[in-house]
Structure formats: structure tokens, C-alpha cells
Amino acid sequence: MGRRLVNLQSDVNRMSRSIQRIEHFMELILPYFNASMTSELPSVFPIQDGEKLQNLDQLFAREPGVFERMVKTLANIGGDTSDDFMRRVMPRLLQNEFANRCSVFGRNDKFKLKNTIIFKGVFAAVKMNINTKDCTEKDIERAMRKWITNSRDRAGGSRFMTKKNSYPGATQDCNRLQPEIEKSNAE
């Protein structure tokens, strides 16, 4: 009888450890299954000006579940690295023209993103994504700075101007070649 109780106790202990491992695994993967792949960001995105950026905190304060849905949506968009994550996520949050007037730390009288709800949401989403969960805050700041820096080019800035004005007559050459470029892109 005593031997049977000992065996029964060891079986219960083994099952308890198995249940704990399953619960731990469920805690890790549950956020990915709770986040709907079709969920969308609030209609205020992409942000176009500083006033909307400043009013964003009030929006999230009024509607508590919006921030969590935003984070889950951004995490589902994902990426393999912090740079890839920013390339995929940031265009959905900020328009390129407005991103030109932003910086992570607010240097040169630009809008500071570091302490905004956008940065907090991106940070939480990066940590939630399985591929980028080990990224540090510094990695995220660097990737965001890189994306913001390149927003000038995406908005039709320096690269376009450099090509356009690289030599005398370049404007005419670009205009002349435009139909050929569009034709090759269509094929």
C-alpha cells in the first residue's frame, strides 16, 4: 500500500511538471493566436502631422484596448530583424513627409518620437515578435533612426534630386527616358 502511494505521488509530480511546461508554452504562443491577422490599425494612422501625434496619447487613454490591438497588429506584420521590422511597420504609422520632421530624440527642433505612444507600441511589438524579441531598446532606436533618415528619399528628396541634377541636361534626359522606364516596369 505504501509503495503504491509513492508511485502515485511520483506520477502526480510528473504530470504537474508536464502541465507547467504546457502552461509556459501556452503563455509564449497565446499572444500570437489572440492577435487577429486581419486586425487593423486605428484610422488615425499613418500620422501626417505633429498635432495628430500629440493627440494620440489621448486617443489611447479614451479607448484602453486600442493600444493592445495596435501592438498585436504590428507584431503580426513583423520582420526578421529590427531593420526589416521598421521597414515593414513604420510606413503604416508615419507618412514619409511627416517622418522628415521627426527624429527619435527630437534633435534639430523635430518631433521627438522616443517617449511617444508610437515608440512604446513599436517597442512592445518588436518584443512580441518571435524573430525580434531579443532586440534591445538601442537596436530599436537605431533601426527607427535609419528608417526616419531614409524617409527623405522615399518622399522624393535627395536621391531624386541628385539624379535629376547630376549633370547639365539631366532633367531633359530623365523626362525623355521616363516613358521607357515605365514601359520596362510594366513588362
pLDDT on residue 57: 76
Whether 110 maps to a domain, the answer reads: yes
The answer as to whether 5 is a domain residue is no
Kindly state whether residues 129 and 167 are assigned to the same domain.
no
For residue range 61-104, list pLDDT tens digits in order.
788 788 888 888 889 888 899 999 999 999 999 888 888 888 88
Classify each residue of 71-99 as buried b or exposed e, where b means 16 or more C-beta atoms within 10 Å of its C-beta.
Answer: bbbbbbebbeebbebbeebbbebbbbebb
Residue 31, preceding peptide bond in cis (omega within 30° of 0): no
Whether the per-residue pLDDT at 122 is higher than 70: the answer is yes
Residue 111 contacts residue 148 (beta carbons within 8 Å): no
Instruction: Tell me what the mean pLDDT of segment 91-119 comes to.
Output: 88
One-letter identity of residue 47: I
Does position 138 have pLDDT exceeding 70, yes or no? yes
- Report the range of poorest mean pLDDT among 28-42, 62-76, 100-114: 28-42
Residue 32 is assigned to a structural domain of this protein: no
Least confident of 49-53, 138-142, 173-177: 173-177
How many distinct structural domains can be found in the chain? 2
74 and 51, same structural domain?
yes
pLDDT at 143 over 90: yes
- Same-domain pairing of 77 and 152: yes
pTM of the model: 0.61
Instruction: Assess contact for 67 and 121: CB atoms under 8 A.
Output: yes
Per-position b or e across 124-148, b if 16+ CB within 10 A of its CB: bbbebbeebeebeeebbbbbbeebb
The answer to whether residues 113 and 171 belong to one domain is no
In a domain, 13, yes or no: no
